[in-house]
């Protein structure tokens, strides 16, 4: 419970549970959420598959696209996964976030992503990237708050659409520790 209206929500990240698929499906049917991501999924099965993949990623890698709870309510997901597409940044760890509109503008994506970055750094990973639609100013602002820098821009094929994207990257280190020399 928030004491003040301007107080940020209490966040929890968890490995997705089967029931999270329905929550994600409901949140992400909003065309505003999907404006820069392609088309909204046309079935719940898409998010059921995402949950299965996230759980498998967690078992294999120790990280995944986590369900984000804000004050106990499913807000969306934030996490990391190995980029499996055959175009850049193939094989790298991508940091990703997607939230329902009700959770925008409260620092949820930034705070959740910072937590994931700390966990990745603790596990010995040295760098993450994010692939963001070139016109998505809100996600670009999150990337900047996370200390990311633009590495490249190109057009990507996503769900049969050609989207202009910018690849962002940053080195990982725990707050208060000296970062490794810039790998960018």
Q: Which two tokens stand for residue 111?
A: 């705070």
> Is residue 79, in this structure, part of any structural domain at all?
yes
Report yes or no on 3 lying in a domain: no
CB 92 within 8 A of CB 151: no
Round to whole Å and give the CA distance between 123 and 62.
8
Q: What is the mean pLDDT of the chain?
A: 91
CATH code of 70's domain: 3.40.630.30
- Print the domain residue range for 143: 11-171
Average pLDDT over residues 65-93: 92
Contact predicate 23/80, CB 8 Å: no
Q: Does the structure show a pLDDT above 50 at 115?
A: yes
Highest mean pLDDT pick, 79-93, 104-118, 169-183? 104-118
pLDDT of residue 184: 47
Which is nearest to 158 in space by CA: 57, 71, 85, 70?
85
- Give the residues across from 130 on adjacent strands: 168
Choose between 40 and 182: higher pLDDT. Answer: 40
Q: Is residue 176 part of a domain?
A: no
Total count of domains within the chain? 1
> Which of the two residues, 20 and 161, has the higher pLDDT score?
20
Q: Tell me what percent of the residues of the chain surpass a pLDDT of 70.
A: 91
Of 74-83, 154-163, 173-182, which one has max mean pLDDT? Answer: 74-83
d(C-alpha 37, C-alpha 56), whole Å? 23
- The reported pTM is 0.88
In a domain? residue 131? yes
* Residue 181 pLDDT: 53
Residue 87 counted as domain residue: yes
Give yes or no for residue 2 having a pLDDT over 50.
no
In a domain, 180, yes or no: no
């Amino acid at each position: 419970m928030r004491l003040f209206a301007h107080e940020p929500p209490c966040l929890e990240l968890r490995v997705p549970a089967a029931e999270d698929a329905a929550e994600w499906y409901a949140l992400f049917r909003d065309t505003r959420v999907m404006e820069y991501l392609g088309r909204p999924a046309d079935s719940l099965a898409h998010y059921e598959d995402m949950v299965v993949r996230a759980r498998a990623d967690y078992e294999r890698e120790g990280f995944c696209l986590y369900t984000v709870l804000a004050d106990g309510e499913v807000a969306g997901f934030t996490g990391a996964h190995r980029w499996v597409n055959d175009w850049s940044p193939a094989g790298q760890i991508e940091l990703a976030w997607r939230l329902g509109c009700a959770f925008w503008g409260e620092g949820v994506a930034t705070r959740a992503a910072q937590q994931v970055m700390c966990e990745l750094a603790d596990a010995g990973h040295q760098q993450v990237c994010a692939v963001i639609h070139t016109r998505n100013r809100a996600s670009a602002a999150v990337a900047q708050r996370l200390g990311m820098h633009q590495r490249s821009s190109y057009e990507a094929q996503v769900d049969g659409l050609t989207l202009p994207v910018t690849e962002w990257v940053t080195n990982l280190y725990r707050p208060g520790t000296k970062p490794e020399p810039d790998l960018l």
